[in-house]
Amino acid sequence: MSFDSLGLSAELLRAVADQGYSEPTPVQRRAIPAILAGRDILAGAQTGTGKTAGFTLPLLQRLSRSPAASGRRKVRALILTPTRELAAQVGESVQTYGRYLPLKSAVVFGGVKINPQIQKLRAGVDVLVATPGRLLDHVSQKTLDLSAVEILVLDEADRMLDMGFIHDIRRVLALLPEARQNLLFSATYSSDIRRLADRLLNAPEQIEVARRNTAAERVSQVVHPVDRERKRELLSYLVGSGDWRQVLVFTRTKHGANRLCKQLEKDGIRSAAIHGNKSQGARTRALADFKNGAVRVLVATDIAARGLDIDQLPHVVNYELPNVPEDYVHRIGRTGRAGNEGRALSLVCVDEHRLLKDIERLLKRDLPRESIAGYEPDPSIRPEPIQKGRGGRGSARPGAQRGSGRRQGGRAAADSRPQGRRRQARAG
């Protein structure tokens, strides 16, 4: 099936051809005609299914075909996303697919100056991509008028609810005209999503393109058991010996991401960290450097990685297992996308056996264990509790002091321990 049969205009087909897409993905096949027909949509589609083009193309066509009210341009399509990165990526897609149409778009999200966004909104915008918090900032500053919105898209709605945006979403809904088209995209269907869908959608076309855990089936997964203090060394070894050029590495904490990134740099592996404490500029730069190959390892926390669109990522490494098993599925969904073979590796230490069990329960299967020669875990090492939240693991040990003394102790320990362990392991 080609794009020509979906009812898209010549301008949009040209933009699609520029991208080199030969045929629509399953979500596009279903969503595009339904949206063009003016229907509401409830789509269960993850990142990587082509969902962005699935709603952007028909949305642009509807706006370009129906005339706007005369006078200053007002926002006619509003796309809400959970994260800044996703907003930026959707904004890029709107630009890309709309390049031959006389429509204007803008992206607004927090963490950057508001004034340039205000200028852009003042100049008139047809399509606005936004994260909920900054959108409401604009509303309260009266720099944004939502009274002419005809199409609302909630992208990754499950993520928005996970991140606590439900109240913001309700506030936004109250600002929109009653008569409008609503498109809801969500990777998962919790009861909260169903409630939101019931409230929001009018006789929606339901589209289900990928079952929830398909990434788990498509991606080859392996667990490398290793001691907690030797994970970094093993990671450097894997990156170097496998000559990996592009690997996304997950840590549990922001602090852990920064620390790992510095250590990898010391090992001569160009790395960047991406997490919520980084400025928007730093995050955008890190992602661009990773995409263009200047950086080999991108170290990310779960929240920062959501919605990242990185093509054909060959390797994903769980440097630390996530506390929430569903996050594991989201993480490994970053590899093996759009039919490409992907490999997800988890470096698992004795502290994480319970987390691993939870993940295997969710996947309904055991993951294969493969020890790497020279990195076999030392069976005498006892599990330690996993530190949640700030600080990261490895910095707090039983009996360690709080405050700066603890940090120093942690650093000294991190420097000296691997050697000691290696000697021990060899001796044993």
Q: Which is nearer to ligand AMP, 188 or 346 (CB)?
A: 188
Burial degree of 3 (CB within 10 A; 0-12, 13-18, 19+) = buried
Q: Which is nearer to ligand AMP, 49 or 221 (CB)?
A: 49
Q: Which is nearer to ligand AMP, 90 or 108 (CB)?
A: 90
Q: Which is nearer to ligand AMP, 47 or 346 (CB)?
A: 47
Who contacts 101 (Cβ-Cβ below 8 Å, separation ≥6)? 11, 12, 60, 64
Q: In the bound complex, what is the minimum distance in angstroms from residue 418's beta carbon to ligand AMP?
A: 39
Who contacts 352 (Cβ-Cβ below 8 Å, separation ≥6)? 320, 321, 386
Distance CA 209, CA 26 (A): 6
Q: What is the dihedral of CA 316, 365, 232, 252, to 10 degrees?
A: 80
Q: Which is nearer to ligand AMP, 48 or 322 (CB)?
A: 48
Q: In the bound complex, what is the minimum distance in angstroms from residue 368's beta carbon to ligand AMP?
A: 28
Kindly report the number of other CB atoms within 10 A of residue 359's CB atom: 26
Residue of minimal Cβ distance to ligand AMP: 52
178 closest CA partner among 158, 199, 196? 199
Q: Which is nearer to ligand AMP, 185 or 328 (CB)?
A: 185
Q: In the bound complex, what is the minimum distance in angstroms from residue 86's beta carbon to ligand AMP?
A: 9
Residues that bind ligand AMP (CB under 6 A): 21, 24-25, 28, 47-53, 309, 311, 338
Containing H/E element for 179?
Answer: none
Q: In the bound complex, what is the minimum distance in angstroms from residue 254's beta carbon to ligand AMP?
A: 25
Ramachandran region of residue 110, left (φ > 0), alpha (ψ -120 to 50) or beta? beta
Q: In the bound complex, what is the minimum distance in angstroms from residue 90's beta carbon to ligand AMP?
A: 8
Q: In the bound complex, what is the minimum distance in angstroms from residue 311's beta carbon to ligand AMP?
A: 5
